[in-house]
Amino acid sequence: MDPTLHTKRLALLRPVPEDLDDMLRIFSDRRSTPAGAAEALTWREEAEGVFQRWDRHWEQHAAGRYTVRLRGGDRVIGFAGVDRILGTAGRSCSCPACSNTGPGAGATGTKPLPQS
C-alpha cells in the first residue's frame, strides 16, 4: 500500500533518507521547533537518529511521520503524522506552516516560520 496522502494543497509522503537535510533545516530552526522538543536538532547525526526512529515506526506500524510538501512542489515544508506514545496514539505536527500547539498537537507541535 502506498502511504502517500494528498490534500488540495499538500502532499504527505513517507520520509526517505534524502529528507535528512530538510529535517535538520526545519528541526534546528528554533523559530519552528521549541527548545527541548524531542526533535530539536543541532547536528546531522541527530537527524539521522530521528529518521531511523521514524523509519522503524513505519516498519512496525505501517504509519508514522510524513514529509510535507506543497502539492506539485519539491521543497519540504514540514513534517506531520502520528507517533505511538506509551501505547496510545498521539498526533503531532512539525510543519512550520502549522501553529497548532494546543491539545492534540503532541510534544513536537511547532510555531510558524516567518515567510521569506
Structure pTM?
Answer: 0.68
In the numeric block, which cell numbers belong to residue 80?
A: 506531520
pLDDT at 3: 82
Q: Angle formed by the axes of helices 44-61 and 20-27, to 10°?
A: 110
pLDDT digits (tens, 9 = 90+) for 53-111: 999 989 988 889 999 999 999 999 999 987 665 444 444 544 444 443 433 333 344 33
Report pLDDT for 2: 76
pLDDT at 84 (0 to 100): 60
| Alpha-carbon gap, residue 64 to 62, rounded angstroms | 7
Flag whether pLDDT at 28 surpasses 80.
yes
For residue 90, what pLDDT is reported?
Answer: 46
Q: What domains can you pick out in the chain, each with its CATH number?
A: 5-93 (3.40.630.30)
More confident residue, 39 or 10: 10
